[in-house]
Structure 1
C-alpha cells in the first residue's frame, strides 16, 4: 500500500498510535512505512458494519458444516454402544479399521479435491459434496456386515474431504489476517460443540432403539445423513464464496473496503494452477515442519474421536453414562480453544501458544495413563478430547502462506497429514492392551512433545525471515513494488515487503 493511501486511512481513523509492541499486528507493519512510530489498526464504523454483514452471511455456514462434518464422522463412536457390534457382528479390530478407513477415503480425495476447489465455484462444489456424503451416511443404516460398513465409511471420508479445504480457503479469502485466528477458533469450537451436543443426540438415538424395528445406531445414520443433505442444498444456493459475493449486498463504499481487506490478507483468487508456487512450498523446511505437526496432533485426535466413548465405558460407566459424559468433555474442549485463541490474539503469538497447547495434550494423555481406573481418569479425557494446536496450525498457514496455488497446496498437505494422523491413531489402540492401551498412550505422549518442539522451530524460522526483511527495508534494498491498481498473486517469498506472524 502506498504512503498516501496510509495517510488517508489514518485520517479516516483506521489507525491509531500504539505504545506497546504487543498490540501491533503484522498486517499493520506491512501497511505502514516510515516514521518509527507504530500504529494499531482500528475499524471504521463502515467496516464494522461490513464485517457484521460478512459474519451474518458466512459464519452460520461455517459452523453448520463443521458441526455436521464432525458429528457425521463420529457417529460411529456413539454407534458402538447402540447395537452396532451386535447387528453387524463386528469385533474390536474391525471397529478400529472402520475408524481408519474413513481417512483413507479422505486422503485419496485430496488430489482431485484440490483441483476442483480451484476450478469450480466453492458454493457449488462444497454443496454437492455435502449432499453426496449425507446420502452415503443415510445408506450406512442399511449395512449388515463389516464389508459393507468399510465401503460406506470409505465413501463418507471421500466426500467429507471437501469440507475443511473449502472452509480454510474461504476464511483466508474473506477475513483479515488478524481476524483469521478467531475464525479458526470458531471452526474448532464447532467441532467441540459437536462432541457436546453429540452426547445429547446420542442419548436421544439410544431411546429410539427398536422404533419401527430399527436399532438406535441406524436411526442415528438416517437422521444425521438427511440433515447433512439439507445443509448441502442450502450451501449450494446461498454460501458466499468470494470476498465480493452478491450475498453480502455491498455498497460502492464497501467494495473499496473489501479491496483493502483483500490487500491485507494477500489472497488473490486465481483459477490458474501455478506450479512454481508448489515447487516453492516443497523447498521450505517449515512446510515439512507444519505438516509433521499436523500428523502428530491428529494421531491423538484419531484416537479420541473414535474411542472416547469406549474409554469412558472402560472406566466403569454404563452405556448411557458413557455417551452423556461426552458432553462435559466437549465443553472442556471449547474452553481450551477459547483460551488458546485469546492468548494468540492477546500476545500476538501463534507458535508459542501452539507449543503450550501440545503440552496440555501431553498432560491429558499422561493422566489417562497413570490415574487409578475410574472416574478420576475423566480429567485426562477432558484435556485430550481436542488439541487446540490444530487451530494454531491453520492460523499459521492462513496468515503466513501467500500465493493462491501455494496456499491451496499447503492446505492440501495439511489435510493429507490430518488423514494420515487420524488413520494411524485408531490402529495404535490395540484391543489386547485394553483398558489402559499403554502402547498407544506412550506414542501419543511422544507425539505431543515432538509437536511442541516443532512449533518452536517454526517460530524461529519466521522470526529469522522477518529480521532479514526488516534489514532489507532499513538499508533500502527491497525490490521496487509492482505499480498496478490490481492485486497481484505473489507468494510470501516473492513479496519481500510481507512480514510473517510468528
Structure 2
C-alpha cells in the first residue's frame, strides 16, 4: 500500500472513531481552539499540538501502522544518531591514538599531564551538564545538536596547532563543552521517538558506535600513521582529518534531524499522529519547551536520581581509565606502535557484540537489573587476570585475551541510560535526571585516568584494582535500585485502586507490537489518559516502573 493511500485510510478511520466518540479529530494543521485543550500546548506536551482534543482519548494503532511508521523513524533518525555518536567517540579517542605516535614526547608532557588531557574533557562536561540540560529543554533539539557537532569539529581541527600542554588542555576543554550535550540529547531523542520496548535496542545501536570507532579508528590511525608529511606529524594529521569529517557531517544533522515527532518533515500528518499515539503506553510524553521548577524539585528529592548518578559514576571510573590508557596497556605487552593500534580492533569488536547483545537480552526479557549484574562479571575476571599474568612475549596471548574480556564493560552504560530514562517522566525532570546522570559519568571519567598512570606501567596495579572494586559496587547499587523500583510499583498500584482503576496494569510499552495490539484495552479505557500532560512519574498513577 502506498503512503498516500495508507495516510488517507488512517485519516478516514480516525475520523470515524472520533465521530463515534463525539470528539472532533485534529490533524495538527487545523486551528485548535485553546479553551478546548485541557493543558495548553505551550505548557503541556508537544504531542498536544498534533493530537488536539484527542490528547486524552487513546486511538487504536494497528501493528501494520506501527511497523510502517517505525521503519520510517529508524530509516531517518538512526543513521544520523549512529554517525554523530561514532564521530564523537572517534574525536574523543584521538588522544589515545596520538599517544602511540609520541605525542607525550613532542608536547613535552610530564607526570600527570597526559592523564589531565584525558580528564579535562570530562571536567568540561561536568561543568557544562547543568547548562546543557537547561538548553536541551528550551532550544530545538535538532538544531542544538547540529550546532554542537559543528563546534566540536572546528575545535578538533584547530587542535592540529596545539603542540604544548597548555594549548592541548584548552582545546580538549572546549571539545568537552561541545560534546557534553550529545549523549543526553540522544537519551532525550530516544525517549521521544521510540516505545520503551524499542528504546533499549536503539540505545545499544548508537552506543555500540564506541566499538565501531575502536575498529575504524585503529585502521584510520594505522593508515594516517604511514603518511610522511614535512609539516605535520601523524597525530596532527589524525586531528585534522577527524575534525574536518565532523564539520561536514554537522550539515547532515542540521538538514535531517527534526526537533520532535510533531515537526518531522519526513512524516505526513497522519503518520505524525501515529508516531505520537504509539508512545502513549510509555506514559512519558514527548517534549515541552517550558522549564518546570516543580519537576526540578521532585528530581532532586527523588532517591532514584542518585541511584542513576552512582551507577554512572561507578562504571565511568574504569571506563575513563581504560579508554585513555588502553593502547598503552596493550603496548606494555611488548608490541610496537602500529601493532598496538591494530590490536585495539578486536577490543572494539567484542564491545559491539556485547553492547548489542545486552540490548537484545534486556528487550527480550523486559528486565535491566539482571543483565547489568551479569555484565560486570567478565570485566572483573579480565582485570584480575591482567593483575596476575606475568608480562613478557610468552604470555601475550593470555594478556590479550584478558584485555579483550574487559571490553564487556561498555555494554553497561547504555542499559543505565535507558533504565534511567524509562523510569523517569516529566520533560524537565527527565532532562535534569539525565544531566545528573551524566555529571556522575563525567566525574567518574575525571577520576579514572588518574588511577592509571604511566609510572605504574606495565602492571597498572592501582587502576585495575580500583576497576574491580567499582564493578563490584555497581552490582550492589543495581540490586538496591531494582528493589526500590519494585516498591514504587506497589505504591502506584495502591494509588490506582484508590482512584477506581485497576491495580494490576500490563506494561504494554515493553511488549512486542503484535502482543501490544492484542492487549489493547485490557488496562481499561482510562489507561494512558495523562500520557501527554507532561506529568512526572510520581504524579501520574498510570506510570509503571521498569525493573
- Decide: shared fold, TM above 0.5: yes
**Match in the other structure for 2:521:** none
Which residue, 402, 408, 426 being the options, matches 1:403?
426
Alpha-carbon distance between aligned partners in 2 of 1:287 and 1:303, rounded to the nearest angstrom: 25
Residue of structure 2 in register with 1:188 after alignment: 207
One of 303, 306, 309 as aligned partner of 1:285: 303
1:199 and 2:218 matched? yes
Q: Which residue number in structure 1 is paired with residue 483 of structure 2? A: 460
Is 1:412 the counterpart of 2:429? The answer is: no
**1:496 and 2:513 aligned:** no
Q: 1:290 to 1:246 in 2, by over 3 A?
A: closer
Q: Distance in 2 between matches of 1:75 and 1:111?
A: 26
| Pair 53,218 (structure 1): closer, same or farther in 2 beyond 3 Å | same
Corresponding position of 2:399: 377
Between 109-118 and 130-139, the greater mean CA deviation after superposition: 109-118
Partner SS for 2:260:
coil
Q: How far did residue 476 of structure 1 move? A: 5.2
- Structure 2 counterpart of 1:27: none
Q: Is the 1:88–1:145 contact (alpha carbons within 8 Å) kept by the matching residues of 2?
A: yes
Work out the CA distance in 1 between the residues paired with 2:473 and 2:246.
37
Residues 238-292 of structure 1 deviation map (CA, whole Å, 9 limit, x = unaligned): 212211233322242x233123223133223111111111211222222111210
Of 245, 255, 264, 2:272 maps to 255
Which residue does 1:21 correspond to in 2?
A: none
Equivalence for 1:487: 532
Q: Secondary structure at the match of 1:213?
A: coil
Q: CA deviation at 1:157?
A: 0.7
CA distance in 2, matches of 1:268, 1:344: 23
Contact 2:153–2:247 (CA<8 Å) still a contact in 1? Answer: yes
- Structure 1 match to 2:312: 294
Aligned equivalent of 1:23: none
Shift in alpha-carbon separation, 1:464–1:447, aligned structure 2, 3 A: same
Q: CA deviation at 1:148?
A: 0.8
Hey, what does 1:322 align to over in structure 2?
340
Shift, 1:475, TM fit? 6.0
3-state SS in 1 of match to 2:410: coil
Contact 1:369 1:441 in 2 (8 A): yes
| Matching residue of 1:173 | 192
Distance 2:150 2:230 in 1: 26
CA contact (8 A) 1:328 1:382 kept: yes
The 10-residue stretch of structure 1 (451-460 or 114-123) with the greater mean CA deviation from structure 2: 114-123
Within 5 Å, give how 1:334-373 maps onto structure 2. Answer: 334-373=352-391
Cα deviation, residue 477, structure 1:
5.2
Structure 1 segments unaligned to the other structure (5+ residues): 9-40
Specify whether residues 249 and 259 from structure 1 end up closer, same or farther in structure 2 by C-alpha distance, changes over 3 A only: closer
1:43–1:303 CA distance, 2 compared to 1 (3 A): farther
Query: CA 1:447–1:187 in 2, change beyond 3 Å: closer, same or farther?
Result: same
Once residues 160 and 258 of structure 1 are traced to their aligned partners in structure 2, the CA distance between those partners, rounded to angstroms, is: 29
CA contact (8 A) 2:316 2:441 kept: yes
- Structure 2 residue corresponding to 1:272, chosen from 265, 272, 290: 290
Structure 1 residue matching 2:219: 3-state secondary structure: helix
Gaps of 5+ in 2: 1-13, 18-59, 503-524
3-state SS of 2:208 partner:
helix
Residue 446, structure 1, aligned to residue 481, structure 2: no
**Compared CA separation, residues 338 and 474, structure 1 to 2 (3 A):** same
Distance in 2 (CA, whole Å) between partners of 1:264 and 1:230 is: 38
Within 1, Cα distance between the matches of 2:500 and 2:484? 21
Aligned residue number for residue 414 of structure 2: 391
Q: CA 1:92–1:183 in structure 2 vs 1: closer, same or farther (change >3 Å)?
A: farther
Deviations 1:143-186 (A, max 9, x none): 12111111111111111112111111011101111100011111
Q: Provide, for residues 37-68 of structure 1, a one-character-per-residue CA deviation record: whole Å limited to 9, x for no partner.
A: xxxx9962222111111111100111000000
Note if 1:160 corresponds to 2:179.
yes
Q: 1:237 aligns with which of 236, 251, 255?
A: 255
Decide which moves more: 259-268 or 449-458: 259-268
Point out the more displaced range, 469-478 or 264-273: 469-478
**Deviation for aligned residue 1:96:** 0.7
CA-atom RMSD, angstroms? 2.2
Change in CA separation of 1:133 and 1:483 when aligned onto 2, cut-off 3 Å: closer
Aligned residues: 462
Change (3 A) 1:97 1:322: same
Which residue does the alignment assign to 2:511?
A: none
Equivalent residue, structure 2, for 1:25: none
- C-alpha contact (below 8 Å) 1:304/1:384 kept by paired residues: no
Distance 1:42 1:269 in 2: 21
Taking the aligned partners of 2:278 and 2:475, their CA distance within structure 1 comes to 32
**Is 2:157 the counterpart of 1:112?**
no
Aligned partner of 1:469 in structure 2 is 492
Q: Is the 8 A contact 1:143 1:149 kept in 2?
A: yes
Task: Give distance in 2, aligned partners of 1:355 and 1:43.
Answer: 36
Could you say which residue in structure 2 is the equivalent of 1:227? Answer: 245
Contact 2:193–2:286 (Cα < 8 Å) also in 1 = no
TM-score normalised according to structure 1 size: 0.88
Does structure 1 conserve the Cα–Cα contact (< 8 Å) formed by 2:280 and 2:528?
Answer: no
Q: Contact 1:130–1:159 at 8 Å: present in 2 too?
A: yes
